[in-house]
Structure 1
Amino acid sequence: MIDVAATDEVDPGGTMRIEVGEYEICIARDSDGTIHAIDDLCTHGEVSLAEGDVEDCTIECWLHGSQFDLNTGKPVNPPAFEPVAVYDCKEIAGRILVDPNTTLN
């Protein structure tokens, strides 16, 4: 696990784009306050998902409106059909930790 940010840097409904080695990762906090880490690149439009909107437990790509489930990475509507990677992510002692080498889907 790699320490990537302080927990207070991502508010509910907020996102943050980080780079960990060769990985570009979107950190998102859902409306319940749970932190998630997914691949930052939309599988349809190839743009940053961190620039999209978080609602409940989905994130919407700003370019074409595809939404991805933050738990599974699966698209919930077109035009995207391929899921994004979901990474192991934890909050410990006020810090957000991500393991870019461990995908959960």
Structure 2
Amino acid sequence: MTETIRACSTTDIDEEDVMRFDHGDKTYAIFHAPDGKYYATEGYCTHEKAHLGEGIVDEFEIECPLHFGSFDYRTGDPTVAPACVKLKTYPVKIEGNDILITVG
């Protein structure tokens, strides 16, 4: 079952930044890319479960704060070891100033 939920406002997250979003028992990472678009992934690194909301954004990549593996947050693909398992990504829609993600 899919569900569309409000993650945050477009004014809550600076360009080239990441924000943690918790909903129920799940954690997500919301990204504001340098191309002006917004993206969403699962919130934890697939390597050691460090929260990506504490990572460093560089262009279209998020670097895990624990072991410095990186992912392309647009696709979820790992780009730097030790990250080797793809992140789950979620569709994002903007309505007014609201960032909505479809989960489930």
TM-score, L = length of structure 1: 0.90
Number of paired residues? 101
Encode CA deviations 1:12-51: one digit per residue, 9 max, x unaligned.
Answer: 1111111122221001112222111000110112110010
Q: Counterpart in 2 of 1:43?
A: 46
SS at match of 1:90: strand
Structure 1 residues 17-96: aligned runs within 5 Å: 17-96=20-99
Structure 1: runs of 5+ lacking an equivalent: none
Compute the displacement of 1:58 (Å). 0.9
Q: Counterpart in 2 of 1:13?
A: 16
Moved over 6 A (4+): none
Encode CA deviations 1:66-105: one digit per residue, 9 max, x unaligned.
Answer: 110111101001001101100111111111001111xxxx
Structure 2: runs of 5+ lacking an equivalent: none
SS at match of 2:53: helix
The one-letter amino acid of 1:61's match is: C
The one-letter amino acid of 2:50's match is: V
Pairwise CA RMSD of aligned residues?
1.0
